[in-house]
Amino acid sequence: MKQTPIRIGSRGSQLALWQANHISYALRDAGYQTEIEIIRTTGDRMQQPGFVVPAGVDGKGIFIKEIEEALEEGRIDLAVHSLKDLPTTLAPQFKIAAIPKRGDARDVFVCEQYWALHTLPDNATVGTTSPRRRAQLLALRPDLQFAEIRGNIDTRLKKLAEGKCDALVLAAAGLDRLKRAEWVHQRFDPTEVCPAPGQGALALEMLAVENERTQYIAQSIGFFNHPHTRFSVEAERAVLDVLGGGCSLPVGAYCEPTSEGFKMYAQVVAPDGDTMIQVETEASHSADPIELGQYVAGQLKERGALELLVGPVPELS
Ligand SMILES: NCc1[nH]cc(CCC(=O)O)c1CC(=O)O
């Protein structure tokens, strides 16, 4: 049967649209017709100044709820997400049908004036609301102050330019994609500032049900699949799953391929940066990524990770 164009759902942020277009162009190159549908999510509304977080919203999946509704109602065929914004478990009616090759997974130091985190003056202010980044940065620089800077990448860069903070810490992938890497002066090694599980990777989500349309969609996106990326992010997300977290927990996990298999590093930091638990391990090509992540999480737990995660949250400056 002749198929209608593949409808791709995306949030309206510049980064989300870049990512959706990136997938759309590749599908067109492969001979498919595509359309992009912009969908506004709770997470987008929460980034507006003055937005009050409604009761019962816990931060997990706030960027995907309305997009999954569009999938369920058949308004879109495919959703393109930043993998790190997806909860570790999806509702059974959805699946991640493809994980393309990952971009730069690292966090970066963004600053016009200073060249690295260690050259920032005493008590400098870093603009980030991420509990993970705050905890990890405090572990490196206990004198740092933080400013509540949220919103899309350009909004954050504008606040930096206006002097609302001295530096930002952001995901390399987002800045690279939008060509905003001009003030990126340092890409943190994952053993220093360990990225969020899945950072830098995309996830192509669709309905799990099998019918003629979903088979067509799954087959059309098959060529995006990058097995090394899938292994790495599955292992990373398994760590988060065991520790019970979403993107708001100070948990970093990073897995990468080596010549023998995979190397994994994970880090849990007390919210005040005082204590850090680190685990490093290697696995062979034939290992199971979920088991690898679960093993790493078990090691973190044995060393007291869960106790750290309930520690006091640092005061805002
Ligand atoms: N939390 C928002 C978010 N979700 C995905 C990215 C960047 C792209 C990626 O990590 O894949 C960002 C911005 C950031 O953390 O700097």
CA angle 105, 100, 186 (to 5 degrees): 15
47 with 151: CB under 8 angstroms?
yes
Looking at the structure, do residues 126 and 263 belong to the same domain, yes or no?
no
pLDDT of residue 249 exceeding 80: no
Chain centroid to Cα 186, Å, comes to: 19
Tokens standing for residue 36: 């992009």
Q: Which pLDDT tens digit goes with each residue over 12-53? A: 999 999 999 999 999 999 999 999 999 998 888 877 766 666
Any ligand 1 atom below 6 A from CB of 184: no
Any ligand 1 atom below 6 A from CB of 100: no
User: What is the residue range of 257's domain?
Assistant: 236-309
176 as an active site residue: the answer is no
Looking at the structure, do residues 119 and 96 belong to the same domain, yes or no?
no
Ligand 1: centre distance to CA 4 (Å): 32
Give the number of the atom of ligand 1 that is nearest the alpha carbon of residue 107.
Answer: 16
Does a structural domain hold residue 194?
Answer: no
Does a structural domain hold residue 77?
Answer: yes
pLDDT at 59: 61
Q: Which pLDDT tens digit goes with each residue over 97-115? A: 999 999 999 999 999 999 9
Range picked from 12-16, 120-124, 153-157, 241-245 for highest mean pLDDT? 120-124
Q: Tell me the pLDDT of the chain averaged across its residues.
A: 92
Give the number of the atom of ligand 1 that is nearest the alpha carbon of residue 200.
Answer: 11
pLDDT at 317: 41
Give, for ligand 1, the residue of 11, 60, 81, 199 to mutate: max count of ligand atoms closer than 8 Å to Cβ. Answer: 199
pLDDT at 52: 66
Q: Which pLDDT tens digit goes with each residue over 251-283? A: 999 999 999 999 999 999 999 999 999 999 999
Does a structural domain hold residue 193?
Answer: no
Sign of CA pseudo-dihedral 194, 101, 87, 89: negative
Task: Return the CATH number at 15.
Answer: 3.40.190.10
Looking at the structure, do residues 209 and 292 belong to the same domain, yes or no?
no
Nearest-CA residue for atom 14 of ligand 1:
171
Nearest to 100 by CA among 85, 86, 81: 81
Interface confidence, given as ipTM, is 0.96
Task: Specify the range with the lowest mean pLDDT, choosing from 64-68, 199-203, 308-312.
Answer: 308-312
Ligand 1: centre distance to CA 1 (Å): 38
Choose the catalytic residue: 44, 77, 85, 241.
85
Q: Which pLDDT tens digit goes with each residue over 126-146? A: 999 999 999 999 999 999 999
pLDDT of residue 245 exceeding 70: no
Does a structural domain hold residue 213?
Answer: yes
Looking at the structure, do residues 158 and 219 belong to the same domain, yes or no?
no
DSSP assignment string, 23-68: HHHHHHHTT--EEEEE---HHHHHTSTTPPPPTT--STTTTTHHHH
Does a structural domain hold residue 180?
Answer: yes
129 with 76: CB under 8 angstroms?
no
Average pLDDT on 279-307 reads 96
Cα distance between residue 237 and residue 204, in whole Å:
16
Nearest-CA residue for atom 15 of ligand 1:
171
Cα distance between residue 189 and residue 117, in whole Å:
12
Give, for ligand 1, the residue of 13, 67, 84 to mutate: max count of ligand atoms closer than 8 Å to Cβ. Answer: 84
Looking at the structure, do residues 78 and 111 belong to the same domain, yes or no?
no
- Reported pTM: 0.92
* Total tally of structural domains belonging to the chain: 3
Nearest-CA residue for atom 11 of ligand 1:
200
252, amino acid identity: G
Read off the pLDDT band of 67 (50, 70, 90): very high
Looking at the structure, do residues 62 and 207 belong to the same domain, yes or no?
yes
Nearest to 237 by CA among 183, 297, 287: 297
Cα distance between residue 180 and residue 173, in whole Å:
10
pLDDT at 54: 63
Burial class (CB in 10 A: 0-12, 13-18, 19+), 140: middle
Cα distance between residue 179 and residue 189, in whole Å:
21
